[in-house]
Amino acid sequence: MYGTEVIDPDVPLNAAESADYDAALAGSAAAGERPAHASFDALIEADQRVEPRDDMPSAYRKTLIRQIAQHAHSEVIGMQPEGSWVTRAPSLRRKAILIAKVQDEAGHGLYLYSAAETLGIDRAELLDMLHDGRQKYSSIFNYPTLTWADCGAIGWLVDGAAIMNQVPLCRCSYGPYARAMIRVCKEESFHQRQGFEILWNLMRGTDAQRAMAQDAANRWWGPALMMFGPHDTGDAAQGGGHTEQSMAWGIKRFSNDDLRQRFVDMMVLQADRLGLTLPDPDLRWNEERGHWDFGAIDWDEFRRVLKGDGPCNAERISHRRRAHDEGAWVREAATAYAAKQAARATSATRSTDRLHAAEPAA
């Protein structure tokens, strides 16, 4: 894995490298054994996986389609902020790493669209909904990548927050989604390490490089905290969220606030190791809670960006639409090729059948 020469590979850097991931993995293997034709409620009750052909309430199906699609869209749109740095990466090594990372995100989109399709929706329809704004992607990708250090901050903070959200999804009640997450989290772990390593090197460079790294951390910290979603516990809880129902269905395992707190606790120590100052004057250790306290989040900004008024919303979606239109010939060629292969396979089966039919019975 990249970065191991400067970062201790034995120290967990993110949730995918912690015991949480191992537990999710073990839980996923155990969930494979289940009685056939068990009812939906019994499966959820027994913490077993729901599979595509099982009966499920239509609201459960709808919730999953919305969530998996939003996740898939985020992976694909998420290629853009760092993709713009592939041609400007400071060395060949950095370029190779960044290409691999951006390519991984495309792969995550593919696993997730495939997982969504098992719920009975077509990916072309999901892409239409992304392109015309009926479905969303994570607001974090509507912020610009102004300097090379932003690639470091995205890997460290954005991929780090994504992993914190996604490790519990490895135990999600819907089988195809849970299985996709197991692989995604492992790859995200590499992404976080490469981001950490970019910042690590910048922080050990010139004054200008250190300032660049600090500036990137300053800009990405707040939006990274927003990635966990609005408050859903205590007095600050905002009604209308999906947390309660999603938890009852075994889709969500922890509240937004719980995951955000775990992220802060993990990142404070890493920021210290990097030599970066997190841009929050209210950040302090709370002995009583055993957690780091942190300042208020700018939810007005969150809602503004969510509504489409972020620095890059229009640019991201128009780039996506253009890429989709320009890729039409690839989809047509792939469909024609698949049809040809299928026709060949059918005619091969027919001739084998004819051959068997001609053989004398034993």
Binding site for Fe ion (CB under 5 A): 75, 105, 108, 159, 188, 191
- Give the nearer residue to Fe ion in terms of CB position, either 16 or 50: 16
Min separation Cβ 289 and Fe ion, Å: 30
- Give the nearer residue to Fe ion in terms of CB position, either 160 or 175: 160
CA-CA distance, 319 to 336, in Å (whole number)? Answer: 26
Phi, psi of 292, deg, nearest 5: -85, 130
CA-CA distance, 185 to 17, in Å (whole number)? Answer: 9
| Contact in structure between 252 and 283 (CB atoms under 8 Å) | no
Min separation Cβ 108 and Fe ion, Å: 4
Min separation Cβ 300 and Fe ion, Å: 28
Min separation Cβ 177 and Fe ion, Å: 14
Min separation Cβ 188 and Fe ion, Å: 5
- Give the nearer residue to Fe ion in terms of CB position, either 141 or 249: 141
Q: How many residues does the chain have?
A: 362
- Give the nearer residue to Fe ion in terms of CB position, either 48 or 142: 142
Min separation Cβ 211 and Fe ion, Å: 26
CA-nearest of 187, 189, 208 to 197 is 189
Q: Which helix (H) or strand (E) holds 73?
A: helix 58-77
Work out the number of other CB atoms within 10 angstroms of the CB of residue 245. Answer: 13
How many helices and strands (H and E) does the chain possess?
A: 15, 2
- Give the nearer residue to Fe ion in terms of CB position, either 14 or 28: 14
Question: What distance, in Å, lies between the first and last C-alpha atoms of the chain?
Answer: 58
Q: Residue 130, CB half-sphere, CA atoms under 13 Å: how many?
A: 31
Residues 6 or more apart whose CB falls under 8 angstroms from that of 114 comprise 123, 176, 180
- Give the nearer residue to Fe ion in terms of CB position, either 43 or 199: 199
